[in-house]
Amino acid sequence: MFKKLIAVLIICASVYLSFEALLPNKISNLDTPLTQFSTDRALVHLAEISKAPHYTGNKENERVRRYIISELEKLGLTTQTQEGYINSKWNNFTKPVNILARIKGESNSKALMLLTHYDSNPHSSIGASDAGSGVVTILEGLRAYLAEGNTPKNDIIVCITDAEELGLNGAELFVNKHPWAKDVGLVLNFEARGSGGPSYMLIETNGGNANLMKEFVAANPQYPVANSLAYSIYKMLPNDTDLTVFRRDGDIEGFNFAFIDDHFDYHTVKDNYQRLDRTTLEHQGTYLMPLLKHFSQANLNTVKSTEDNVYFNIPFFKTITYPFKWIMPMLIVAILLFFSIVVYGFRQKQLNTKDIGKGFVAYSFSLIFSGLLVFFGWQLILIIYPEYTEILHDFTYNGHTYIWLSVLITLSISFWVYSKLKKVNNLGNLLVAPLTFWIIICCLVALKLKGASFFVIPLYFGLLALFVLVKQYKPNLVLLAILTMPVLLIMSPFVKMFPVGLGLKILFVSAILVVLIFGLCLPVFGHLKHKTRWSFSFLILSIIAFLSAHFNSSFTEDRPKPNSLVYAIDSDTKTAYWATYDNNLDSYTKNFIDTTSNNNTLFNANTFGSKYGTGFSFTKKAPLKNIAEPTIQISKDTIIDKLRSYTICITPNRDIQRLEVFADSTMVFKKMVLNGVEITKENKEDNTVFKQRKNNRLFCYYTTDQNYLELDITVPIDQKTTLQLYEASNDLLENNLFTIPKRLSWMIPKPFVLNDAIIIKKTITID
């Protein structure tokens, strides 16, 4: 009985340690020596930076820029700004203003760059985490580095970009137009996609990661959270940061350090000073300081590689890495060991086909049923709580409770299934099935997802446990518990990481991972008596988790409901509409919109730029207000070689933030120049621009200091060209022509969409 207790405690401690080792356990305060990074000192900067939304082009953006420049100059650095029009690959056009500084190194070698951005997302995001946290990490890190009297071998370039949120425009401006870009050998980029949790290290490279990982391990950050599975998945997703531009356009290697938990705060007014997790900011500092010291002295000419490494982090050992060329040999050895042990077990009459068959039935049922139950359970939850769909992030405020729910219900199912197998004498028979599934998974990842090939490490310890079960009549339960530690220490964080990183829609992946981990823990769990009681206990806990999620499902001041309202005028027909992106109307939107009217002819197939492609859900006719329309002037209409060229000048007659232009997909554009910047063709073979446009969208112009847009367009001579212009301002709540009530304390502006806006649609037709 005592050994069983110790074994269970080892398992529980391993799971706890797997998460505890991801983050620092204390916060550096104002009394921290000046030669060290202090989170509390960094927070002094954050309080200044995150006073209000500071998106590209607004006055707060300029104030934040001045503050950052001032703080860099206090460190003795000479600063400069870089500005100019640039069009991003998402066809978002604007004029960013980058902040640059440079510390001269002792040798004429490649430079180390510290990178982040200072703009917040339009229009309501405060931007404390994204990416105020990156700005203050760099400011405080540089201060500590210089206070220590360090003299770098390599130049250190500081680049704090603008307009990252609009389409990485600032990074494109630097990489493609600044002379310093050719000097950069490595980039450390600090980002956020939430307001808490561990900061994951993700690599950006056009080649292999082997040399980058070698140097990362040599730098020895104290709390590395890095694995090549996350890196492999990241490469397949459409997620981009400023560092993507450095890799794509400049062939410059780099490391991303980004935290992604509490995703519900991302790009909202709740991304503020108060809600940024202090431990998370401390974690960013624990990355920057050792990496800054190491890479300021390292040979940055050797970071490129053609080889890739598998890598993962584990408590006590930090980051473990080995080359891809080891993947197949390690897998083959595991397979040979598996068959050898199984054959040995049969010869020793410790294994038999009947009990192994029972194990396959039990494990397959646990795996399939748990995955399906959690998958369809989440679909049912969305039906029961339709308000969850208003959170476009796909991670609800009670999302962590739902992760617990999926884990607990899966454990309940697994224990219940194995409680039915009472006549199996040797637990090795039951372990054969999980090991078989693990081998199949390792074979698949070795072929399709090499970054996950460290899954073979827990497999080896599982094979060792099978050997112990076959070899010993009464195996040491404590030893078997120790053999479960690798799978618990390595794999447990993934149970949380997947839904946090990819959304609650993949909760079923967490359930599958729990069953996979459970399978390798069978040498211990199989020895536990009263599995039905264990199952019932986990079922009770899962019910408690569901009730906790239920009682925290309503919106409150701390868990506010995102909602939306815009006023749109069709200047062609002199009609106006109220519109919303919300699926569930509340007391705020019901002042203007109901579900009885949904005339969306104003917007047709056009969808304004949104991270999640969100369109209007309800529209309703509204009183026509006297909003100043833009002035449209067409000039320089010329015909050369069967092509027609003309200039369109669009001049807003009110303070606006964006101009979005659409054209039917049948329209052909041979050439287009925006405020002197020519739109590049998608590839060399194309003789047109905007060929692969989405939702008829050509581009969006975010205004800055120049509140007009000049288009030089070339089209086929026989084409009747029609453009739909949508001019938008974010002043609906402040405009004196409207009486819009304030949102209640439990509401916030919905992010990722054009919100709180006055929109004017105007058609431009050239026969």
pLDDT, tens digit, 9 for 90 and up, residues 114-170: 999 999 999 999 999 999 999 999 999 999 999 999 899 999 999 999 999 999 999
Q: Are residues 544 and 566 in the same domain?
A: no
Question: What percentage of residues in the chain have a pLDDT greater than 90?
Answer: 83
Phi first, then psi: give them for residue 356, nearest 5 degrees.
-65, -40
Query: Across-strand partners of 579?
Result: 566, 619
Domain co-membership, 291 together with 386? no
24 inside domain: no
Reduced 3-state DSSP string for 636-703? EEEEECCEEEEEEEEECCCCCCEEEEECCCCCCECEEEECCEECCCCCCCCCCECCCCCCCEEEEEEC
Q: For residue 233, what are its two tokens? A: 């998945």
Mean pLDDT, residues 307-315: 95
Residues 10 and 73 in one domain: no
In a domain? residue 319: no
Contact 184, 110 (CB under 8 A): yes
- Structural domain includes residue 21: no
Residue 292, domain member (yes or no): yes
103: confidence class by pLDDT, cuts 50, 70, 90: very high
On whether both 542 and 450 belong to a single domain, the answer is yes
Nearest to 614 by CA among 688, 682, 562: 562
Regarding whether 263 and 367 lie in a shared domain, the answer is: no
Region 201-207: what's the mean pLDDT? 91
Rounded CA-CA distance 62/84 in Å is 15
User: What is the reported pLDDT for 598?
Assistant: 66
Domain boundary, last residue among 265, 290, 314 = 314
Handedness of CA 380, 383, 387, 388 (dihedral sign): positive
Based on the fold, state whether residues 486 and 523 are members of the same structural domain: yes
| CA dist., res. 519 & res. 516, Å (int) | 5
Of 104, 107, 115, 285, whose CA–CA distance to 186 is shortest?
A: 115
pTM of the full predicted structure?
0.94
* Residue 700 is assigned to a structural domain of this protein: yes
Q: Are residues 305 and 208 in the same domain?
A: yes
Residue 71: both structure tokens together: 């703080």
Scan for tokens 């339009």, then name that residue: 122
- What is the number of other CB atoms lying within 10 angstroms of the CB of residue 348? 12
Residue 547 located in a structural domain: yes
What CATH number is associated with residue 245? 3.40.630.10
pLDDT value of residue 102: 97
Asked whether residue 135 is assigned to any structural domain, the reply reads yes
The total number of structural domains that make up the chain: 3
Least confident of 136-145, 215-224, 303-312, 610-619: 610-619
Listed residues 314, 336, 358: the one ending a domain? 314
Cβ partners under 8 Å of residue 34, min gap 6: 143, 144, 147
Asked whether residue 160 falls in the same domain as residue 133, the answer is: yes
On whether both 409 and 299 belong to a single domain, the answer is no
The enclosing H or E element of 301 equals none
Chosen domain end from 533, 551, 569: 551
Please check whether residue 93 is in contact with residue 708, taking contact to mean a CB–CB distance below 8 angstroms: no
- pLDDT at 607 (0 to 100): 66
Please give the residue range of the domain that contains residue 54: 29-314
* 238 band by pLDDT with thresholds 50, 70 and 90: low
Asked if residue 633 and residue 512 are part of one domain, the reply reads no
Q: Is 22 a domain residue?
A: no
Say whether both 169 and 210 belong to one domain.
yes
Q: What three-state secondary structure class fits 259? A: strand
| Same domain flag for 539 and 580 | no
Q: Which residue from 348, 494, 367 is spatially nearest to 418, judged by alpha carbons? A: 367
